[in-house]
Amino acid sequence: MNRQTLLGLSFISPALLAVVMFFLLPVVLTVVFAFTNMSTSTGILGGEYQISESDLRRLPAAGVSDEVAEMLTGAGYAVRPETLALFAADFGKDRADEFDTLHGGATFNDRRAMERALKDLRGDPIRVVRERKAAAELFRVSILGQRYPTEAEFQTAIRELGIPEADHAALTKAAYTGWTFTTQNFELLWELPATWRYALNSTIYVVLTLAFNVGFGLFLAFSTFYLPTRTAQTFRAIWFLPRILPPVLYVVMWQWLTWDQGFISAILRPFGIEPINWMRHTATHAWTFIVLINGCVGASLGMILFSSSLRAIPETHLFAAQVDGANRWQQVRFVLLPQMRWPILFITSYQTLSLLTSFEYILLATDGGPGRQTEVWALAAYHTALSNYGGNLEYGLGAAYALALVIIGILLSALYLRFFNFRDLVAKPRIEQ
Amino acid sequence: MNTSLKGNWLLVLAMSLMSAPLVIMYGFQLIDSISRPAPGGIIPQEWELTNWRFLWEPIDSARPSIWRVTFNTFVFASSTALLVCAFSITAAYALSRLNFPARRFFLAGLIMLHAFPTITLIIAIFIVLQFLGLYDSLMGVILVKAALELPFGIWIMKGFYDSVPWEIEMAGVQDGASRFRVWRELILPQVKPGLLALLIFSFLAGWSEFILPLVLAPGADAQVLATYMNAVIADDTRPDYGLFKAIGMFYALPVIAIYLLFQKRLMNIYGGGTKG
Amino acid sequence: MKQITCALALLASTAAMPVLAEDITITVWAGGSNDSDHYRIDNIMIAADLLSREAAIRGEELNITVEGKRDFDGWDGFKQAVTLGAEAGNAPNIVVTSHLDIAPWASAGYIVPIEDYVDLDSWPLNNVYANLMEIATFDGTQWGVPQDAESRPFFFWKDTMAKLGYSDADMNDMAARVQAGDYTLRDMLADAKKAVDMGLVDEGYGFYPRVSNGPDYAQFYQSFGGELMDPETGKLVLDRTAMTEMYQFFVDAVEAGVTRKNHIGTDWDQWYSEVASGKAAFWHGGTWHYGRYTGKEGNDDFFGTIGFTLIPAGNEAGRANTITHPLVYLVTDQEEDRAEEIAAQLVSIASEPRLNTLHAIASSHLAIGKAESDLDLYAGDRWASEATDVLLPHANAQPNHPSYGAFSEAMFKGLEAAWAGVQTPEEAVAEIEAQMSATLGDELIIR
């Protein structure tokens, strides 16, 4: 290893470590999650073993024999000689005898009933709540609702119940509360009608916003190019601020502009126009403002890049055109624009990718409304994985949404790398030592 | 070329019209924070500072004081910015100028990472942090935010290094200096403007962040200004637009100050990265 | 595991304990809580004080520090913080959240059943309404305790009704007529149409529903005979007829001009100010809206201007109903069983009528227990008392089922599509049927 290699590797390793740990590894994990049924219910870091009441009816479908399902069903608590013996050992023989006369042979469905029965003890009542609960546990004969942290503990428990060995594997599998691998996320994506709507929304969003960004970025660059420096600077400042303002604040400003009692409604009222929520009134309104909100942020990037490319164009080209009597439009169209081909392509490809994965401003502005009309793919991924009214977040399905974006991203960037002459970009360093 | 204001009045008019919505929003952001409009109207009626009361008294018994939150935000944003810059200046130089194995692979990877949806990674990021014992610590959130910003930072810095003439480096090497010394003494001063721009940009990105601290460090009292503001807005029993605007103004002040101070530098953030 | 912990508890309580100072910190996180909801946390603090005093009388020194947190950035941030904290093993001891979280959180093992620690048959838990207690159960286990109650009534603007020819006596009878099924949603639609035609309210303001998804829309499904969960099997139920008729009802409302086609997504602030000032003839909301109407929106004469009833029945198959969506206190799984025990006891004490009444009245919610009506503070609040009488006995809740969220989202999306005229009610129902069978599979019964 020569010294340059050593220096190169040591220079890149801190960044590499950070990116790999906190960016690349999560991406890989997300790809893995896409093939799981991970959700709030299954937990993230692994599960335990439990057969609950609602699991019982799922057991036959999971390949557990009907007799076993039958064995697991039934009363949870029973006053039998063996449970009474346990009780006697911890709480004394007198109590056990009294309880036997009171409730010998009885069964109870839930612990509340069992505890009520224990309250019937008169000779030497169990006074402390937690002791009574501990006593109730001694009469438990079912494993329903019990959680076992490990597979071994669960299997011991079902062995004690006398479940036939043949069913152990299937039952253990059904009892696992953690996530398992599956491909159903993709089947679901394929089947759901909403999938196609989100894909279409994303396309609309990217195409329209991109058109605005590039078109308006060009307009700003050209106009400020022709204006005196100070005026140009003022306009640049106005259009640059959206990019650096915190999104939360920036979107609140738009909301103030557009809501029913906001600015637009207020100035239109004298003209007899009913106040409406200009941002959410219809899908068209929503799309218009989403494109504007994102566009004002994105246009400044175009403006900056295009302006610097414009400054790089030799002025003599323009003078020549002016001498030929070209008006300003002709100058722009025939002299300046052709020279801007590369920056325009760069912005287009760079922002296509950014826009595909971005949803922050939509989340804050319309949250996909009205009626999911502006729910783009990335926002759907966010909603599925991290925001759900019912409480059960579907991490696996959300990851499947994200995976689709990752694949599109890789394909597109591979394409761009080809297109933009990657070889130039990574041209070999000229010093070889 | 005609660049006088007079000769371009049509253009100036057109641009003013198009900029009007933005200017109106900025203007009223300021005006509404120090005045009270008539009910249902937009014209300010009275000038007053009560909207700024959050500066000297808590607006809700459960919320920490604004200064505490501002301090958190500042620590978060500046540590993120420093980390991003520290990692980017070396990594970008290596990618731009040094010859080492798999360099092309790193560069391609850098561009592709740009295409990944970051917020949907949050569950996976949680697992990594938990594994490292960094969950629920400010340190962990800072590292995550810095890592997510790094591809952008390296890309920008690489652009700046690319535009430094090779001759400078050649000359240094021919004088017998090591590549490290050349980088430190000759190249670094050349990319200072880029570094400053990146520092400011990463600071602003940290200043705006609103999801990561809340989810990855919920117990660490890591509330930042963005979540503070969002929580005040979400409190729908007592919406108070004047208060939102004042808090928003407070939140934006550093951004505006930074802009005014470093305007030129910021505009040059893409100075190196334009070559297609 | 449970057996081990119980045995430990037994040891701890039976052994003669030396008097040792015990210091314990209990953290409480309350989601969706703003300033008026501060008793969600304060009541736990008061409970901690009481518990320490009880311990002191027994001769034990128990110092409980309660740390509360409720400045979350909405429900999403709160739920993410709680679940990730639970995964990492440092969840708050007590959380205040929607009862719908019980099913997923119990399955994931984030929470422990409250019934493991406190006696449900003794005071104050035996005072809590049985139908509310039921809402905090899942899979036959009592996981939590309701923290507050609310319900979602139907409102009408009295002035408009008077102009439609209803006398004061008629309006007073309204609640009873709705409950008996004499006044249905169809009657309401006819009245709303009349109000629009007579120019009493603007077009689109005859019936002015909630502007976003919420439990409210499940009420209309029930009004048309829909059932959310099959009590026998515990599976969710999609009743095609009821769903179609419910969608049709909203489509008819749009066609009659009494409801706006693009109503969903209207700004909440606008909505509140409009319904509180009589711009709408009929609408539905929540019991806690009282605070907003009379507070921020400045309606000083609530009872003189606004009447309320159950959500009327839609047809013969359905019934007048209202859904309550209480928040619940849940105790999370901790390494130390003692922390869980203390937390559960605090929750139990915080459910004392006197403490819960503080919260109910301060935040315009309803009582969780019978005895609260006997307290001056509660009885003296006209809204709380009347709403309790009219609404709470008939309130049911949405089912605690891990997939209910998906069910509810699909139902609402279908409604939106039909409402906006993108699909006919039949098409919309067919689409949600396809979606629900795909996402819920075996957990769904289609009728």
Determine, yes or no, domain membership for B55.
Answer: no
Residue A92 Cα, gap to closest chain B Cα (Å): 47
Chain A contact set for C104 (CB, 8 A): 39-41, 391-393
pTM comes to 0.86
The owner of tokens 């490809």 is A349
The overall average pLDDT reported for chain C is 86
User: Which residue among C13, C406, C435 places its CB closest to the CB of A193?
Assistant: C435
Residues B41 and B79 both lie in one domain: no
> Is B148 in the same domain as B208?
yes
Q: Is the pLDDT of residue C9 over 80?
A: no
Q: Is the dihedral of CA A196, A199, A201, A203 positive or negative?
A: negative
> In the predicted model, is pLDDT for residue C370 greater than 80?
yes
pLDDT of C244 over the 90 cut: yes
> Does residue A370 have a cis peptide bond before it, meaning omega lies within 30 degrees of 0?
yes
CA distance A111 to chain C (A): 9
Alpha-carbon span C416 to A283, nearest angstrom: 13
Residues C34-49 pLDDT 10s = 778 889 999 999 999 9
- Residue in chain A lying closest to C422 (CA): A371
Question: Highest-confidence range of A58-72, A260-274, A390-404, C41-55, by mean pLDDT?
Answer: C41-55
Q: Does C255 touch chain A (CB under 8 A)?
A: no
By C-alpha distance, the chain B residue nearest C268 is B236
Kindly report, residue by residue over C314-347, the tens digit of the pLDDT.
888 888 889 988 899 999 999 888 999 999 999 9
Count of structural domains, chain B = 2
Contact between chains at A260 and C267 (C-beta distance less than 8 A): yes
| Domain hosting residue B148, numbered range | 65-267
**B103 domain-assigned:** yes
Q: List the chains bordering chain C where 3 or more Cβ pairs fall under 8 Å.
A: A, B
| pLDDT at residue C117 is higher than 70 | yes
Helix, coil or strand: residue C444:
strand
Residue C265 has pLDDT above 80, yes or no: no
pLDDT value at position C14? Answer: 47
Domain-embedded: residue B53: no
pLDDT of residue C65: 92
Phi/psi zone of residue C59: left (φ > 0), alpha (ψ -120 to 50 degrees), beta?
left
List the one residue out of A320, A75, A23, A51 whose CA is nearest residue A167.
A51
Is residue B44 included in any domain, yes or no?
yes
Confidence of residue B62 (pLDDT cuts 50, 70, 90): low
Q: How far is A63 from chain B (nearest CA, A)?
A: 32
* Residues B122 and B41 both lie in one domain: no
Q: What gap in Å lies between CA B172 and CA B165, rounded to an integer?
A: 12
Helical H segments across A227-258, by residue range: 229-244, 247-258
The reply to whether residue C291 touches residue B234, judged by beta carbons under 8 angstroms, is no
Q: What one-character DSSP code corresponds to residue A290?
A: H
Output the six-digit token pair for C145: 């305790």
Q: Do residues B162 and B43 both lie within one domain?
A: no
Residues B170 and B242 in one domain: yes
B151:A315 CB<8 A:
no
C-alpha to C-alpha distance for A359 and B236, rounded to whole angstroms: 24
Minimum CA–CA partner of C341 in chain A: A130
pLDDT at C176: 87
Residue B123 in any domain: the answer is yes
The answer to whether residues B224 and B119 belong to one domain is: yes
- Angle formed at CA C211 by CA C206 and CA C214, multiple of 5 degrees: 120
The pLDDT score that the predictor gives to residue B36 is 72
- Is residue A136 predicted with pLDDT exceeding 80? yes
Binning pLDDT at 50, 70 and 90, where does residue B106 land?
confident
Highest-scoring range by mean pLDDT, B97-101, B122-126, C114-118? C114-118
Q: What is the CATH number of the domain that holds B194?
A: 1.10.3720.10
Tell me: do B91 and B193 sit in the same domain. yes
Residues 6+ apart with CB under 8 A from A276: A260, A265
Please tell me the distance in Å from C247's CA to the nearest CA on chain A: 15
Is the predicted pLDDT of residue A414 greater than 90, yes or no?
no
Residue A425 pLDDT class (50, 70, 90 cuts): low
Pick from B195, B99, B189, B213: which is nearest to B156 by CA?
B195
Helix runs in A259-327, H state only: 263-268, 283-312, 315-323
Which of C27, C35, C292 comes nearest B60 by C-beta?
C35
Residues of B in Cβ contact (< 8 Å) with A297 = none
Interface test with A, best of B29, B121, B173 (most A CBs within 10 A): B121
Domains of chain A, earliest start first: 188-425 (1.10.3720.10)
Other Cβ atoms less than 10 A from the Cβ of C229: the count is: 17
B157 & B226 share domain: yes
Residues whose CB falls within 8 Å of the CB of residue A335, separated by 6 or more in sequence, listed in order: A313, A317, A318, A321, A326
pLDDT for res C283:
92
CA C339 to chain centre: 28
Residues B11 and B138 in one domain: no
In terms of domains, do B221 and B251 share one? yes
Q: Residue A390 and residue C404: Cβ atoms within 8 Å?
A: yes
Asked whether residue B276 is domain-assigned, the answer is no
Closest by Cβ to C435, choosing from A41, A90, A192: A192
Name all domains of chain C by residue range, CATH numbers in brackets: 14-150+326-396 (3.40.190.10), 154-323+403-446 (3.40.190.10)
| Distance in angstroms (rounded) separating the CA atoms of residues A102 and B113 | 71
Least confident range of B223-232, B267-276, C78-87: B267-276
**Which two structure tokens, joined as six digits, stand for C378?**
């509660």
Give me the residue from A22, A308, A406 closest to B147, CB to CB.
A22
Residues of B in contact with C34 (CB under 8 A): 60, 235-238
B74 and B40 housed in the same domain: no
C417 or C328: which leads in pLDDT = C328
C74-103 residues touching A, CB cutoff 8 A? 76, 79-80, 83-84, 87, 98, 100-101, 103
Domain annotation covers residue B217: yes
Whether B32 and B81 share a structural domain? no
Output the pLDDT for position B221: 65
Question: What are A265-285's pLDDT values in tens digits?
Answer: 888 878 877 777 788 777 788
Inter-chain residue contact B223 with C296, CB threshold 8 Å: no
- Given a cut of 50, whether residue A233 has pLDDT beyond it is yes
- Relative to beta strand C306-309, strand C444-446 is unpaired
Q: Do the Cβ atoms of B235 and C34 come within 8 Å?
A: yes
Q: In the prediction, which pLDDT does C5 show? A: 47
Q: Are A156 and A22 in contact (CB under 8 A)?
A: no
User: Taking a C-beta distance cutoff of 8 angstroms, is the pair A295, A209 a contact?
Assistant: yes
For residue C80, list chain B residues with Cβ-Cβ distance below 8 A: 122, 214-215
